[in-house]
Amino acid sequence: MSGDLAIGIHDLSVATAQYVLTHETLAARHGADVAKYHTGIGQRSMSIPAADEDIVTMAAAAAAPVIARHGAERIRTIAFATETSVDQAKAAGIHVHSLLGLPTTTRVVELKQACYSATAALQFAIGLVHRDPSQQILVIASDVSRYDLASRGEATQGAAAVAMLVGADPALVRIEEPSGVFTADIMDFWRPNYRTTALVDGYESISAYLQAVEVVWKDYTERGGRSLEEFRAFCYHQPFTKMAYKAHRHLLQHCGHDADDAGISRAVEHTTTYNQVIGNSYTASIYVALASLLDHAEDLTGEAIGFLSYGSGSVAEFFAGTVVPGYRSQLRTDMHREAISRRLDIDYDTYRELHQRPTPVDGGEHPLPRQTTGPYRLAGLSQHKRIYTPR
Ligand code: CAA
């Protein structure tokens, strides 16, 4: 906790994309054994955005129910975390601010560091609330994970957005001090400004992630953090859900603990329910994992949860949260399940067409086909401007 003041996540809402590509379809196309995906990386399907969806439309869909429940009067800042930026200069959160009709007396900023930046946004929000506990901060994480067709990373794509309302006296999870942090200059995953798909050294990225687990844990414990036994569950960044199991096994072994399968499952399995069907949502994924845990685990009141946020490049952070009494009445479990079940199944050719759809760069008028049935859409591009509308 920050001093005596409890600060943390007051509301948590997840949205995802219009379409879904199953790993059965992917396996059939590539002549792969589907067990490699289902068992080997722990993935069943991945969300694929429609032509008129992107990080902004998903973010607005995630944030709208938060505003509907709590109002916008106390929100002074929107911190939008993403790897999938839509503009080099303008913060994507300004489009969300406009779509949701939020007050002009708001600051909006975008944060980037691969899959880590939502955690930076959360810590930034906590700092602001500590300065003025009457304020609430809307933290949004929204990403579309995209690798080249037929590349090794293709099976680990996905898309989702999370909106979190951060404030004093939170209804869901109090975020504690200290944090353990890590940075090292590693080229395990990156995306130059001229590319729409990420470059990755897959095996290097897994070992960089595991190295970061060791360093953040050491830093966390040296700063007076909790001991491993105190945690009921662990939310890891999940590029694919098997990674959470790998990371937790590594942490247990590193600390000299038994790494039995049953214990590892107890600690992470409920965090993977959404991500295994949504796929990698980069910076949103750890908070999708939190939503999944809160929605599926038995009563967690008063329990400590560990958060391991990893973003290639690389930056990582470990911190703890405590689940607040009464949290269950605030959950959006039905809405989250509906966001997943409403997606339309697409075949490989439809997915490939969406994947390869070029972004117009000529500044002309480019209306986009009406595909999404979500609440907001990217209606088109006009004179290099993205036009967002309610659907
Ligand atoms: N049945 C069951 N399991 C099988 C199998 C089968 N028929 N065939 C293979 N497997 C298992 C393998 O044994 C392996 O498991 P282990 O890792 O536990 O040994 C697993 O399935 C994957 O098999 P491969 O290593 O052969 O798979 P691959 O060559 O396709 O690569 C990958 C896997 C490296 C994760 C690749 O998908 C990739 O590059 N993904 C993108 C990068 C990524 O997600 N990195 C994660 C860390 S970085 C990060 O977290 C940031 C981020 O979001 C990008």
Residue 1 lies in a domain: no
pTM, rounded to two decimals: 0.98
Instruction: Kindly report, residue by residue over 214-239, the tens digit of the pLDDT.
Output: 999 999 999 999 999 999 999 999 99
Instruction: Kindly report, residue by residue over 53-76, the tens digit of the pLDDT.
Output: 999 999 999 999 999 999 999 999
- If you average pLDDT over residues 112-135, what whole number do you get? 98
- If you average pLDDT over residues 313-324, what whole number do you get? 98
Ligand 1 centroid to residue 186 C-alpha, Å: 19
| Domain that residue 112 falls in | 7-390
Number of domains making up the chain: 1
Q: Is the CB of 41 under 6 A from ligand 1?
A: yes
Check: CB of residue 372 under 8 Å from CB of residue 357: no
Residue 98 lies in a domain: yes
Ligand 1 test: best mutation among 41, 117, 236, most atoms within 8 Å of CB? 41
Please name the residue whose Cα sits nearest to atom 6 of ligand 1: 36
- If you average pLDDT over residues 348-361, what whole number do you get? 96
Q: Is the CB of 237 under 6 A from ligand 1?
A: yes
Ligand 1 atom having least distance to the Cα of 203: 34
Determine the Cα angle at 229 with ends 227 and 234, to 5°: 90
Closest CA to 203 of 215, 218, 217, 186: 186
Two tokens at 270?
A: 């409920």
Per-residue CA distances from 93 to 9, 51, 101 (Å): 19, 20, 12
Instruction: Kindly report, residue by residue over 24-43, the tens digit of the pLDDT.
Output: 999 999 999 999 999 999 99
Ligand 1 centroid to residue 261 C-alpha, Å: 19
Pairwise CA distance, residues 297 & 304, whole Å: 13
Ligand 1 centroid to residue 41 C-alpha, Å: 5
Does residue 6 surpass a pLDDT of 50?
Answer: yes
Please name the residue whose Cα sits nearest to atom 34 of ligand 1: 202
Q: For the chain, give the mean pLDDT.
A: 97
Residue 158 lies in a domain: yes
pLDDT score at 3: 55
Q: Is the CB of 36 under 6 A from ligand 1?
A: yes
Does residue 1 surpass a pLDDT of 60?
Answer: no
Bridge partners for 180 per DSSP: 318
The model's confidence at residue 4, banded by pLDDT at 50, 70 and 90, is: confident
Residue 292 lies in a domain: yes
Pairwise CA distance, residues 193 & 86, whole Å: 11
Residue 2 lies in a domain: no
Active site positions, annotated:
83, 115, 237
Residue 307 lies in a domain: yes
Instruction: Kindly report, residue by residue over 166-187, the tens digit of the pLDDT.
Output: 999 999 999 999 999 999 999 9
The model's confidence at residue 2, banded by pLDDT at 50, 70 and 90, is: very low
CATH of the domain at 357: 3.40.47.10
